[in-house]
């Protein structure tokens, strides 16, 4: 089956899903690698919007979130990820929508006990599975692997790696 034919079938099935969307997400945010020993996992959340492109399988979106990772001691890391992203709908014939996401932007971070904050470059790769609940609402889960990119800074040894495993609900506008 040609890719265009499959795309057309998916489009017919997913007409509602191919509308612009707005939604929110929340769930556990887990620091990885070096950060895992420094700060704890926590709950995070955010909002997002997505719009269509000329190619139906591709949306462009923007996400803003917040998560604060405390520790048992004085360490803490607060993150406000702000990133643009491209979301690709996998052209499978299946009731569940699977999407891949790649994005980039900034994260405003605050660290304690140093009491410092700054914008860090942010790279996000993600995967989403969503279940349509009628014509408007979608429920799903999303995995976002975020890289707070700091290794370009003099003296930096580590980036910050965080895996967000979020539940999401969003609306077809």
Partner 1 sequence: MLLIVLAVLVSCDGEPLITELVENRLSIVLKGSYESDSVRPMILPGGANSSKAGSWVADITGNTDIPQRLFLDISELRADGDSFARYRTLSTVGLSDTEPFFNGAGIMLRNDDVRPDKAYSTIRLYLRKIGFDAGFNCDSTWNTTTPTEFFFGKGDVAGYDFNLKQIYRYGETSEDYDGDNLVFPMQIPISGTMNYDGDGEWVLEVRLVIKNNIARYADTASNISYWALDDRISAVAGGDGYIGGNIAAIAKAYKVGYTGSIDVSAAAGGSVVVAMPADEDIASFVSGKIPPYAIYRSAGSIIPNVPVGKAYNVYQASSDLGTLLGATPGYSQIGATVTINAPGQTVTP
Residues that bind partner 1 (CB under 8 A): 34-35, 37-39, 71-75, 77, 84, 104-106, 109, 111-123, 148-150, 152-160
Nearer to partner 1, 14 or 40 (CB): 40
Could you tell me the smallest distance in angstroms from the CB atom of residue 117 to partner 1?
A: 8
Report the 10 Å Cβ neighbour count for 130. 22
Nearer to partner 1, 57 or 148 (CB): 148
Q: CA nearest 82: which of 35, 118, 46? A: 46
Give Cα separations from 113 to 5, 73, 161 (angstroms). Answer: 57, 9, 20
Overall residue count recorded for the chain in this entry: 173
Could you tell me the smallest distance in angstroms from the CB atom of residue 31 to partner 1?
A: 10
Could you tell me the smallest distance in angstroms from the CB atom of residue 60 to partner 1?
A: 11
Nearer to partner 1, 94 or 119 (CB): 119
Q: From CA 165, how far away is CA 142, in angstroms rounded?
A: 6
Could you tell me the smallest distance in angstroms from the CB atom of residue 154 to partner 1?
A: 8
Nearer to partner 1, 120 or 128 (CB): 120
């Amino acid at each position: 089956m040609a890719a265009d034919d499959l795309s057309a079938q998916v489009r017919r099935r997913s007409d509602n899903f191919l509308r612009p969307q707005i939604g929110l997400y929340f769930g556990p945010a887990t620091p990885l690698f070096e950060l895992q020993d420094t700060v704890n996992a926590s709950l995070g959340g955010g909002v997002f919007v997505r719009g269509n492109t000329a190619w139906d399988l591709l949306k462009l979106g923007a996400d803003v979130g917040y998560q604060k990772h405390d520790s048992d001691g004085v360490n803490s890391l607060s993150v406000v990820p702000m990133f643009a992203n491209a979301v690709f709908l996998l052209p499978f014939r299946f009731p569940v929508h699977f999407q891949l996401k790649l994005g980039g932007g900034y994260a405003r971070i605050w660290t304690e006990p140093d009491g410092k904050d700054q914008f860090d470059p942010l790279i996000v790769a993600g995967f989403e599975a969503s279940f349509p609940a009628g014509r408007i609402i979608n429920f799903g889960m999303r995995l976002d692997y975020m890289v707070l990119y700091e290794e370009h800074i003099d003296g930096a040894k580590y980036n910050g790696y965080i895996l967000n495993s979020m539940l999401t609900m969003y609306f077809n506008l």
